[in-house]
Amino acid sequence: MPKLLFIFTSAGTSLLGRKIGWYLPEASHSYAILASHFEIDFASPQGPNPPIDPLSVETFKDEDSLKFLSDPVIQEKLVNAKRIADVKAEDYDGIFYVGGHGPILDVASSPENAMLASKIFQAGKITAAICHGPGALVGAVDKDGKSIFKGRKFTGLSNREEEIFGTVLDVPFSLEDRLISLGGLFECAEPHQCRVVVSDNLYTGQNPASGKLLAQEILKTLQN
């Protein structure tokens, strides 16, 4: 069975002191679809017990999300999450960056993460991210040393959505603006609507509503 690495943030506090972390449905909805097709490991910058965004727990009570929080296998994966610095790219067939505001506070600035993502992408393996997750890929480069976003279509949480959430000042940069500055071709749906973009082996989902479709697009590649 192919192996996939879910990468979570270790950041539990925003720039304004708000409690943040990884966003529940952006992990649970995709995991529910992918778990029967991949052997999935978890990792974060600091390793075990990556913090979850409490607002996402309060907001999402769907079956997949409740199972993600209660399933002992999943909880064991979180408790024993690997440190990104200890992960070897050759051990995995792809990576999946779970969103939440945290990734652009810590994963984005991790040199170990940039190296891992670059190796995965350059090997033609699945490089997927949802919501703020694409922001964790700012340091990833292709075989020519150029940003993996340069000349490629992508999506992620839009500026308009960040404004609606009232979290513009909670994060160090605008995901949309930063990735466009790296040469990315940004696409998005209306706020809170599902949008997934596939460009070469870069797979991106716009927001929490996009997790299931993003997973389905990943499965298409696996089955082809």
DSSP character at residue 8: -
- Residue 80 and residue 128 in contact, taking contact as beta carbons nearer than 8 Å: no
Residue 175 to residue 196: CA distance in whole angstroms: 16
pTM for the model: 0.98
Looking at the predicted structure, is the pLDDT value of residue 224 above 90? no
What's the CA gap between 219 and 199, in Å, rounded? 15
Does residue 124 register a pLDDT over 80? yes
Inform me whether the pLDDT recorded for 182 exceeds 90. yes
- The partner residues of 127 in beta bridges, in order of sequence, read 95, 202
pLDDT of 6 over the 80 cut:
yes
Using left for φ > 0, alpha for ψ between -120 and 50, and beta otherwise, residue 46 falls in: alpha
Mean pLDDT, the chain, integer: 97
Any idea what DSSP says for residue 46?
S
Backbone torsions φ then ψ of 19, nearest 5 degrees: -75, 125
Question: By the 8 A CB rule, do 105 and 14 touch?
Answer: yes
Asked if 43 and 27 count as a contact pair (C-beta separation under 8 A), the reply is: no
SS3 content of the chain, % helix, strand, coil (to 5): 40, 20, 40
pLDDT score of 221: 86
With bands split at pLDDT 50, 70 and 90, how would you rate the model's confidence at 222? confident
How far apart CA 42 and CA 34 sit, in angstroms, is 13
* pLDDT tops 90 at residue 169: yes
pLDDT tier at 223, thresholds 50, 70, 90: confident
What digits encode the pLDDT tens for the residues 56-83? 999 999 999 999 999 999 999 999 999 9
* Tokens 């190796």 sit on residue: 119
Neighbour tally for 118: CB within 10 Å:
20
